Amino acid sequence: MDDELSEDLWQARAVPSLTRDEARQRAQLITVDRMEVDLDLDRGAEHFGSTTRITFSCNEPGAATFLDLRPVSCERIELNGTPIDPATITDGRLPLADLRAENTVEVVATMAYSHDGQGLHRSHDPADGEDYVYGHLFLDAAPTVFACFDQPDLKAPYSVTVRAPETWVVVGNGRATRADDNLWRLSETLPLATYFVTVCAGPYVSLHDSHDGIELGIHARRSLQGELERHAPQMFEVTKQSFDHFHSTFDVRYPFGDYDQVFVPEFNAGAMENPGCVTFRDQMLFRGAATREQVLQRSNTISHEMAHMWFGDLVTMRWWDDLWLNESFAEFMAYTATSTATEFTDSWVEFGIARKQWGYAAERAPSTHPVAGSPAPDAHSALENFDGISYAKGASVLRQLVAHVGKDAFDAGVTAYLRSHAHGNGELAEFLAAMEQASGRDLGDWSRAWLETAGVDVLAVDRDGTLTRTTPSQYPADRVHTLDVAGFTDGAQVFRTDVVLEGPSAQVGLDAAAAVVVPNAGDLTWAQVDLDETTRGNLARELPMIEDPVARGVLWGAVLTGTYRGTVDPRFALDVAAEAWAGESDDALLSRVALALTDRIVPTFLAEGEVTPARARLAEAAAGVLDRVEPGSARALVAARVLAATTTDETVLRGWLDGRDLPVGLDGDTDFRWLVVHALARLGLADDALIEAAEASDRTLTGRLGGLTARAARPGTPDKEWAWRELTTNRDRSNYELNALATGFWSSGSVETLRPYAARYVDDIPHLAQWVGADALDRVAALAFPSRVVEPETVELVRAAMARPDVTAGVRRSMGDELSKLEEALASRARWA
């Protein structure tokens, strides 16, 4: 992309965001009856043609509204046969005046492919020299692909045609049929919100199956055909199991025809729930060995996106305030499905240690917000609430709702809500009304406490059986917790008590002699946990012996969240991990605890002089696991990865790089080889020749990113300067390349070397908004944050930057969230120094 085109894209994106009030006014004025979209993808690598015909009605003839449109150029616009000057497009809006009762608007335009994962993204695969295209129209990128009324409550059927190069195939929301002259026609859809429309095109390879009358397809880049064929049987199985579960639970059939799942390159999110054509990041087609947790995560994502076919697609939130009606439900329904309908009966363990930890971090940040009704005055502000609260907390709150009203009433309420709002839109009040009707209970107080008030309570139990609930003072709420308390000695459960905590404290029956007492042992409620002194003293010895993986997850989580909150010394967390981690039998707990220690606790909560010996202790623990567990098992794979990330043994790393003495199952594993390259780079042991040799053996998108991360990870001053310049000034870098550079940059180097980049971060990163879309830039702003410079001066720099008017709302949110983590590390250092 040259600078001129970058400027075009900047102009197309630098537009005011649609406000809630504007959306409400437009929805009251018009109804969109049908969308016809013709895309010409056979015009080269930079631009594509877009022709849109929209039929819509207006209930106030003579009134005016506007169309959303962000083209590179516009060749023709007609409203009811009357030409409109394209020069009237201002800030991405085309005024439409003197509307009739029935209207047709036609727009012929030239659009630009994106390289940041938004709009119609085009990616070049160096493995086969082919280009691949996919549409990601979330959150407000649809006007960069076709003219539209871009808001979630103006749904309409779509009729789409796509002209593509001869060797390409096309997949979209409707079944694609190839006609003459490389033209593909997609069957007309049911009513869709604009941000759910997608087209995937390129020389994709495909596998097909069917289930319960639904045609299934899974697609990927041609260079990933081997991985697709290896993983497809398991993915088809989970897809079928999820369909059966949701059909039974919702008692509403999947309505959108075929069900295609497309694994696409350089995808910003994990996946996107486009009706009938779900898109996934293609790293989920694991190239090498995969742990059970990784396959679980992919399976859960498959189930999550399918749950959206009902919550989000069939019934769409009226405005972004009710984002939770999409994401909280998909999160909850997915884990329910995987735990009951698939082999992953323990999926809630991964939810507790991965997703809930993400959500608790969001609750501790200054940007915390309620699950439901979180203000979204415009579309851009809504993007900030796609976080651990809308997903993990929302799912946890729904678990509490099931406990509160009963599963039968909950399922009946869900079915009634879906049927009464099918192909339309819904909001919090309407969902609650359906639940109240089904359960016969007033849910007003429950909703205000759990859905409409931010904050997370802290639960603790002392040895006299007093269970306490501490509510955050800035977000007072009387949340009723349904939970259990359990005790263990020598790994055996000695008691478990069910509790409904309706006030700030309650007495529970327990065995005070239990070595370990676990509040919320079943992880049923949303609350951080403080452990009593006796439990902390016995924890390292007892943890590996406890058979219940959910209770172990709660205990591990209490150690991690306690460290972040400053109530647990990070050295205690390290001690527990050094003694107990090697005995952990669940690979999700094993990998997530190690990730928390290696990526955050050790490098930021410990003083610089303590980091190297701490990493050595983790490396020793990982080596011990490798020596003891079954070779080639998931636990062995986790341990090998942790060892590669923490060891300073050059002999071991170079041997692995050359294929010598590799752990079982990692021969020829290119992704593990990149972990080794990155480890050598962080130690200053990867010269240009070594990295170039690694790239030469992996001429793929992943290999290209691996090389960038390795170069940025080298600790020398010239390497850091090169990496920062590439990150902040090279406009040709894709969204994934920016992520790779940012990830590598902060993974090594002394604080002295890195300190100047704290000031450069606040100056340079906001500037990227000139050519990087908001969704991609928010991620870059988080990854590039100077988290290793744990100093008060960094806090001052970032706070000053957040007050500047040139910093976008999304970047400000990313800065603020990362700053809260840095302040947690500073507070911990001050308390436990």
Residue type, 296: L
Domain 315-450 has what CATH class? Answer: mainly alpha
DSSP output for 449-478: HHTSS---EEEEE-TTSEEEEE--TTS---
3-state secondary structure of 526: coil
Strand partners for 315? 311, 424
Query: What CA–CA distance (Å, rounded) separates 74 from 91?
Result: 14
Q: Per-residue confidence at 14, pLDDT binned at 50, 70, 90? A: low
Q: Is the dihedral of CA 581, 585, 587, 592 positive or negative?
A: negative
pLDDT at 13 over 80: no
Task: Please tell me the least confidently modeled range out of 96-110, 521-535, 568-582, 764-778.
Answer: 764-778
Query: Is pLDDT at 222 greater than 80 in this prediction?
Result: yes
Amino acid at residue number 175: R
CA distance 196 to 198: 6
Report domain 3-308's class.
Answer: mainly beta
Report the pLDDT value the prediction gives residue 761, as an integer from 0 to 100: 98
Q: Per the structure block, which two tokens stand in for 213?
A: 């009358």
Residue 822, pLDDT score: 98
Residue 716: name the closest of 743, 773, 760, 754 by CA: 754
Using the CB atoms, write b or e for 463-496: b if 16+ within 10 Å. Answer: eebebbbebbeeeebebbbbbbbbbbbeeebbbb
Which helix or strand (DSSP H or E) is residue 481 part of?
strand 481-489
The whole-number pLDDT of residue 677 equals: 98
Mean pLDDT on 186-203? 98
Q: What percent of the chain shows pLDDT beyond 90?
A: 94
- pLDDT tens across 663-722, in order? 999 999 999 999 999 999 999 999 999 999 999 999 999 999 999 999 999 999 999 999
Listed residue (208, 195, 191, 85) closest to 146, CA to CA: 195
How far is Cα 323 from Cα 193, in angstroms, rounded to an integer?
Answer: 14
Specify whether the backbone of 423 is left (phi greater than 0), alpha (psi in -120 to 50) or beta: left
User: In DSSP terms, which residues pair with 278 in a beta bridge?
Assistant: 261
793-795-797-802 Cα dihedral, nearest 10 degrees: -170
CA distance 163 to 822: 50
- The three state secondary structure string of 273-320 is CCCCEEEEEHHHCCCCCCCHHHHHHHHHHHHHHHHHCCECCCEEECCH
In this chain, the answer to whether the domains covering 3-308 and 315-450 adopt an identical fold is no
Confidence at residue 3, expressed as pLDDT on a 0 to 100 scale:
33
* Average pLDDT, integer, range 235-260: 97
Instruction: Quote the radius of gyration of the chain (alpha carbons, Å).
Output: 27
Q: At what angle do helices 225-250 and 292-308 cross, to 10 degrees?
A: 50
Is the pLDDT assigned to residue 6 strictly greater than 60? no
pLDDT at 293: 97
pLDDT of 11 higher than 90: no
Half-sphere exposure of 559 (CA within 13 A, CB side): 30
Q: Which helix (H) or strand (E) holds 39?
A: strand 30-40
Distance (Å, whole) CA 687 – CA 680: 9
Token duo for residue 493: 């459960």
Cβ(449)–Cβ(427) below 8 Å: no
Could you give the angle at the alpha carbon of 593 between the alpha carbons of 592 and 598, nearest 5°? Answer: 95
C-alpha 560 chain-centroid distance: 21
Whole-angstrom distance, CA of residue 823 vs CA of residue 810: 20
Q: Are 531 and 485 in contact (CB under 8 A)?
A: no
389: closest CA among 449, 455, 444? 455
Sheet holding 130-136, edge to edge: 119-125, 130-136, 199-202, 169-172
**Span 740-776, pLDDT tens digits:** 999 999 999 999 999 999 999 999 999 999 999 888 9
Query: For residue 124, what are the β-bridge partners?
Result: 131
* Mean predicted confidence (pLDDT) in 430-452: 96
Segments making up each domain of the chain, as ranges: 3-308, 315-450, 717-833
Q: What is the Cα–Cα distance from 442 to 452, expressed in whole angstroms?
A: 15
b/e for 380-410, b at 16 or more Cβ within 10 A? bbbbbbbbbbbbbbbbbbbbbbbbbbeeebb
At 135-149, the pLDDT tens digits run 999 989 999 999 999
Backbone φ and ψ for 30, nearest 5 degrees, come out as -125, 160
For residue 698, CA distances in Å to 111, 127, 335, 605, 692 come to: 33, 8, 35, 36, 10
Is position 305 annotated as part of the catalytic site? yes
The sign of the dihedral angle between the CA atoms of 747, 753, 755, 759 is: negative
Mean pLDDT of the chain: 95
Torsion on CA atoms 259, 264, 267, 270, rounded to nearest 10: 50
Q: Please, which pLDDT band fits residue 244 given cuts at 50, 70 and 90?
A: very high
**DSSP class per residue in 560-615:** HHHHHHTSS-HHHHHHHHHHHGGG---HHHHHHHHHHIIIIIIIIIS-HHHHHHHH
**Amino acid code (one letter) for 50:** S
Of 305, 350, 384, 584, the active-site residue reads 305
Eight-class DSSP state of 695: H
In whole angstroms, what is the distance from residue 411 CA to residue 415 CA? Answer: 6
User: Would you say residue 40 has pLDDT above 70?
Assistant: yes
Tokens of 475: 């977000």
Q: In percent, how much of the chain has pLDDT > 70?
A: 98
One-letter amino acid for residue 331 of the chain? E
* Section 44-56 average pLDDT: 98
CA distance 415 to 392: 22
Cα distances (Å, whole numbers) of residue 275 to 109, 141, 150, 211, 303: 26, 17, 17, 17, 14
How many residues appear in the chain? Answer: 833
Token digits for 605?
């909560």
Among candidates 370, 563, 320, 400, which has minimal Cα distance to 474? Answer: 370
- What does the alpha-carbon distance between residue 267 and residue 136 come to, in Å, rounded to a whole number? 9
Average pLDDT over residues 617-622: 97
How many helices and strands (H and E) does the chain possess?
29, 28
Residue 156 CA: distances (Å) to CA of 32, 57, 195 = 6, 12, 12
Listed residue (820, 718, 727) closest to 776, CA to CA: 727
Model confidence pLDDT, tens digit, residues 638-654 = 999 999 999 999 999 99
Nearest to 275 by CA among 236, 247, 241, 315: 315
Q: Measure Cα distances from 686 to 385, 651, 657 in Å.
A: 40, 13, 11
Residue 209's alpha-carbon distances to 235, 239, 276, 509, 710, in angstroms, are: 11, 10, 14, 53, 40
Q: Is the pLDDT of residue 7 over 80?
A: no
| Cis omega (within 30 of 0) for bond into 139 | yes
- Spatial neighbors of 522 by CB under 8 A, at least 6 apart, are 483, 484, 486, 550, 551
- Residue 401 and residue 351 in contact, taking contact as beta carbons nearer than 8 Å: no
